[in-house]
Amino acid sequence: MLTPELNCSFLGMNLTNPLVLASGILGTSPSLMERMALSGAAAITSKSCGPEARAGHPNPVTVAWDCGVLNAIGLTNLGARAEVPLLRETKQRLAALGVPLFASIFAPRLEDYGEVARIIAEAEPDLIEVNISCPNVASEFGTPFSASAESAAAVTRTVRKAVSLPISIKLAPNVPEISRIAQAVVAEGADAITAINTMPAMLIDAIAAKPVLSNRTGGLSGPALKPIALRCVYELAQAVSVPIIGTGGVSSGIDAAEVLIAGATLVGIGSAVIKDGPSVFARICTELTTFMSDNGYAQLADLRGRALP
């Protein structure tokens, strides 16, 4: 029987499988990040941090829904300077396991992105993921930088000038021309694309006659997001030549295969960790291996981009 290989290369990093812990699922505890790696995550993305500490939105900030999770955490974080020692410890723990660390950053202003990137680079993560697309703080920060090619390119240019580390730009799904935005950030030095962030959405409590979340709207993740993520990855894979971290609604080996077939290099796992715990990584790897064996795929390269024209 064919035994497929799940190991892959991403920007010169050798990963044991294509699964990445997505940003924002867990806090900043180095021991938690290490646990995810020991459970099978081949790369770890930290929770987004910005220039200053943020308390986030008041509860309720998360609600489980039949087809996913709605959250409006509000970018809770300790601030970039306070995150550096935590990221350093996380990097040390993960490096011992051969697992790279991706550090996620955000900022309210264009010029802040460069400063946050410089600070976080002190922790020496393997990649900086630049979150320009958080959907639940627009009322505070204004229109997300991911909304246009021009603003997305400006952020990328600022971060690229600030650091020499690889950078991946995290794009939003609710834009008219995601491919054009991706091309713009790649032209400014993005080494990879993370696609996608959550989708702005709302749930209403009919009895109370008001939105469930205190912020009223939040970001939708989980199974309902997968068809949107697949469409975005599929379009991006035809528009840019840099690797894509396909994220959105993956909870099984078949889901992961679909994202790879659409053209992604790596697959982000988020809400499934909340639902099933750390063991979800090993389960998805087992299911992906079974799918590949049953369908004659010896390695991920045989699978990647098969749906593309």
Is 232 part of the annotated catalytic residue set? no
Long-range contacts of 293-299 (CB under 8 A, 24+ apart): 293/1, 293/2, 293/3, 293/4, 296/2, 297/4, 298/2, 298/4, 298/5, 299/4, 299/5
Q: Residue 204 in contact with residue 210, Cβ under 8 Å?
A: yes
Which of the following is catalytic: 49, 134, 232, 285?
Answer: 134
Residue 156, C-beta contacts closer than 8 angstroms, at least 6 positions apart: 130, 167, 169, 184, 185, 188, 189, 190
Active site residues: 134
